[in-house]
Amino acid sequence: MKSSISIEMVMLLAGLLFVLGIAGVIIRKNIIFMLLSVEVMLNASGLAFVAAGSRWAQPDGQVMFIFILAMAAAEVSIGLALILQIYHQHKSLDIDKLKEMKG
């Protein structure tokens, strides 16, 4: 079955999502939202993989996507655990407050 959406368009979307994710990470101060934005970036990469896989008509892209999902899940779970701890310690989720180490 021939796709009606061209690869370029999908890649463009993926790139857009990726840049949006970057922007989100940079702009947001709340750690949860930062994690969220990172997820967006990861998914953008996943999308790119899927698109690439479909270009070469291989399943590899989709396999990769599943791996990415799994990895993102693991990451988020640890991330959330850490966020809990941070909230516990700092009573805040503002990333800019986490500046104890520098120099």
Partner 1 sequence: MNNLLWLVPALPFAGFLILALAGKQLSRVWVAMIGAGSVSLSAIVVLIIGISFLSQPPANGNYSQTLWTWMQVAGFNPKITLFLDALSLVFVFVITFIGALIHIYSVAFMADDKDYSRFFACMNLFVFSMLLLVLADNLLLLYLGWEGVGLCSYLLIGFWYENPANGYAARKAFIITRVGDTAMAIGLFVIFYQFGTLAIPDVLAKAPVLWHQGAQMATITALLLLAGGVGKSAQLPLQTWLPDAMAGPSPVSALIHAATMVTAGVYLIARMHIIFQLSPIAQMIVAVIGAATLFIAGFSALTQYDIKRVLAYSTISQIGYMFLALGVGAWTAAIFHFMIHAFFKALLFLAAGAVIETLHHEHNMFKMGGLKNKLPVIFWTFLIGSASLAALPLISAGFYSKDQILWYAWASESGNPLLWFIALLGAFITAAYTARMMILVFWGEAKTEIGHHPGKLMTVPLIILAFFSLFAGFIELPHNFGHLTLFSNLLHQVLPEAVLKAGMNTELQFQILAFLSTFGGIYLAYIFYYKQPQRIEKLKQSGFVMNLYLFWFSGWGFDKLYNVLIVNPVVFIANINKSDVVDKLYQGITFVTIRLYRFLSFTQSGSLRWYIMGLVIGAIIILSIQIML
Partner 2 sequence: MSGNDFFALTPLLLLAGSSVLIMLLIAINSSHRVIQLSSLLLFIVAFASLFYIQKLLPYNIEPLLIVDGFSVFIMGLIIFSSLVVNILSYIYFEEKEESPKEYYVLLFLCTLGACVLAVSKHFISLFLGLEILTVGLYALIAYLRVRHHNVEAGIKYLVLAAFSSAFLLFGMALIYLQTGSMEFSMIARSLTSLQSLPPLFLTGLGMVLVGVGFKLAVVPFHMWTADVYQGAPAPVTAFIATASKGGVFAVLFRFFIMIDGFRFKVVILILICIAIASMLIGNLLAVQQKNVKRILAYSSIAHLGYLLVAFIPGSMMSIKAVSFYLMAYFITTLTAFGIVTILSNKEKDAEEIESYKALFWQHPVLACVFSTALLSLAGIPLTVGFVGKFYILAAGLQAGFWITALILVFSSVIGLYYYLRIITMMFAGQKSILSEGKKANPIFYMISVIALSVLTLLIIWFGVYPSTVMSFIEYFRLK
The residues that touch partner 1, with contacts defined as CB under 8 A, are 22, 25-26, 29, 34, 95-96, 98-103
Maximal C-alpha separation, the chain? 57
Q: Residue 14 is inside which H or E element, if any?
A: helix 7-27
Judge contact between 28 and 34, C-beta under 8 A. Answer: yes
Which of partner 2, partner 1, none is residue 56 near (CB under 5 to 8 Å by kind)? partner 2
Q: What is the DSSP letter of 57?
A: T
C-beta closer to partner 2: residue 4 or 60 = 60
Q: Do 30 and 95 touch, CB atoms closer than 8 A?
A: yes
Residue ranges that bind partner 2, judged by CB under 8 A: 7, 11, 14, 18, 21-22, 25, 31, 34-35, 38, 41-42, 44-46, 48-49, 51-53, 55-56, 58, 60-61, 63-64, 67-68, 71-72, 74-75, 78-79, 82-83, 85-86, 89-90, 95, 98, 100-103
What token pair was written down for 81? 């655990």
